[in-house]
Structure 1
Amino acid sequence: MALRPVMVNIKALDASAVGRFWAEALGWSAYSPGVTTYVGPGGGLVWPDPVAVCVDVVPVPEPKTTAKNRVHLDLATTSAAHQAELVARLQALGATPAHVGQGKVPWTVLADPEGNEFCVLEPREVYRDTGPIAAVVVDCADPRAMARFWGEAMDWTLHEVTDDHAVLRSAKGVGPYLEFLRTPDVKTVPDRVHLDLLPYPGDDKAAEVARLRTLGATDLDLGQGDVPWTCLVDPEGHEFCVLALS
């Protein structure tokens, strides 16, 4: 048994507007099957077997605080010209420069129209085949511990692990990487961005959730009530959800 990440969940006051931004940013399409705005490659929703790690923008009544998100997206580029063009296009769409203590770096840090930070990377060979999202990056205190938990939670392959950095990717070698980056920050507010995981067809969601608890996940009550998904936190308190297949 194992789970697969299928969506990066982003909370927003105006889910439709933020969804449109991310659709334009990634060159994907925005769909509104319900109250959320789902952003994925063209061709319509493919559920319960999505073809990519997509973005789901969920409406919430609270604005983002000034605290830096502990989860963010890194966007891939293919050349210096592409990086410059993408940064300019994103700013025209409503992105703004963000300062998170990065200093002088070759990538550009921006925030979406509601302040969610993300990076536009300089060209890197490792991300040449990921698609528009190079990586989902998670700030943490202990990358080795995160690699153990998430490596057991999902069916992704561990590519690298050090005291400062851990990297996983789909065993199929497609899509973005999941990276855990050691940072000195501590978690002070609920994550504005989190991962949604999905069982494979034929697997038992309740059994998967029970397995995650044995690995160190704990239940999370956000006032969600009776919903078909299960809200959990990993051993460092990062929220995530296990979705139902239908």
Structure 2
Amino acid sequence: MALRLGLLNFKARDNSALGRFWVEALGWSVFSEGPTVTGVGPMGFVWADSDDACLCLVTVPDPETVKCRVHLDLATTSVAHQAELVARLKELGATPADVGQGDVPWTVLADPEGNVFCVLEPREIYRDTGPIAAVAVDCADPHAMARFWGEAMDWTLHEVTDDHAVLRSAKGAGPYLRFLRATPGVKTVWNRVHLDLVPYGGEDQAAEVARLQALGATLADVGQGDVPWVVLADPEGNEFCVLAPA
């Protein structure tokens, strides 16, 4: 039994406008568009047949605007590429962001709705990830998060210390998942960005939800109502969804 990372889900004020930003930022295209939901993925993306994660921008009445516990890290291939990408993103509407990073080799920006993300300096580990190098999550205990998420998705653990943990799909495709030790405080609002997981073909959604609960996940109510997906929270309270099999 296993799950794949299907969607990186962003709450938005304007799904269409935010989708256009990320299309240009990542060099992707819109694969689905509705009044409140925009799907953005690699060129030629086919939802049911892909192991790539895509973005889903969903308009909600009052998206949370405090510091995000989940953010994207973008990959670059050279120092020149990093500088060019940062300049292009600023032209698209991104703005410099100060999250206390100090003097670091990566650049911290915020998209037009304030979602913080990083443009990394070139790193060999991210040479084959595509434009999204990693999904980074602030946490209190990287060891515990690595155990939960490694079993939840059957991902390979590449590194774990008291300060961070790094996992990636056993297929060696798509972005890494990084848990960074931080002191985020008591979580009182929903994360602006969350993961949507999809059972592989033939796997049972209800069985996967039960398995995740046995690992330490809990049911979460974010006002979703009667929907075909199940909203859960990991052991540190980060919401995520288990979708119906593709």
- Return the TM-score normalized by structure 1: 0.96
- Segments of structure 1 that go 5 or more residues without pairing to the other structure are none
* Matched residue type, 1:237: G
Could you report, residue by residue, the CA deviation over 1:72-112 in whole angstroms, capped at 9, with x for unpaired residues?
00000011110010001001001011110101111000000
1:192 maps to 2:189 = no
Report the more deviating stretch, 121-130 or 181-190: 181-190
Residues matched between the structures, number: 244
Q: CA deviation at 1:47?
A: 2.6
CA RMSD of aligned residues (A): 1.1
* Matched residue type, 2:121: E
Q: Within 1, Cα distance between the matches of 2:181 and 2:136?
A: 10
Partner of 1:38: 39
Secondary structure in 2 aligned to 1:153?
Answer: helix
* Matched residue type, 1:57: L
Partner of 2:26: 26
Q: Within 2, Cα distance between the matches of 1:188 and 1:220?
A: 13
Q: 1:4–1:156: 8 Å Cα contact kept in structure 2? A: no
Q: 2:196–2:240: 8 Å Cα contact kept in structure 1? A: yes
Partner of 2:244: 244
Q: Within 1, Cα distance between the matches of 2:206 and 2:64?
A: 32
Could you report, residue by residue, the CA deviation over 1:134-182 in whole angstroms, capped at 9, with x for unpaired residues?
0000000000000010011002111111111111101111211001000
Q: 2:4–2:51: 8 Å Cα contact kept in structure 1? A: no
Secondary structure in 1 aligned to 2:49?
Answer: coil
Q: Within 1, Cα distance between the matches of 2:175 and 2:216?
A: 25
Partner of 2:72: 73
Q: 2:30–2:38: 8 Å Cα contact kept in structure 1? A: yes
Partner of 2:161: 162
> Does the C-alpha gap of structure 1 residues 63 and 213 become closer, same or farther in structure 2, counting only changes over 3 Å?
closer
- Segments of structure 2 that go 5 or more residues without pairing to the other structure are none
**% identical aligned pairs:** 75
1:4 maps to 2:4 = yes
1:86 maps to 2:90 = no
Secondary structure in 2 aligned to 1:74?
Answer: strand
Partner of 2:97: 98
Q: CA deviation at 1:223?
A: 1.4
Q: Within 2, Cα distance between the matches of 1:139 and 1:128?
A: 24
Please show how residues 55-74 of structure 1 align to structure 2 within 5 Å.
55-65=55-65, 67-74=66-73
Could you report, residue by residue, the CA deviation over 1:210-239 in whole angstroms, capped at 9, with x for unpaired residues?
110111100111111110000000000001
Q: CA deviation at 1:33?
A: 4.0
* Matched residue type, 2:191: D
Secondary structure in 2 aligned to 1:178?
Answer: strand
Q: 2:5–2:51: 8 Å Cα contact kept in structure 1? A: no
* Matched residue type, 1:68: K
Q: Within 1, Cα distance between the matches of 2:155 and 2:21?
A: 29
Q: 1:40–1:54: 8 Å Cα contact kept in structure 2? A: yes
Q: 1:3–1:200: 8 Å Cα contact kept in structure 2? A: yes
Partner of 1:153: 152
Q: Within 2, Cα distance between the matches of 1:131 and 1:73?
A: 12
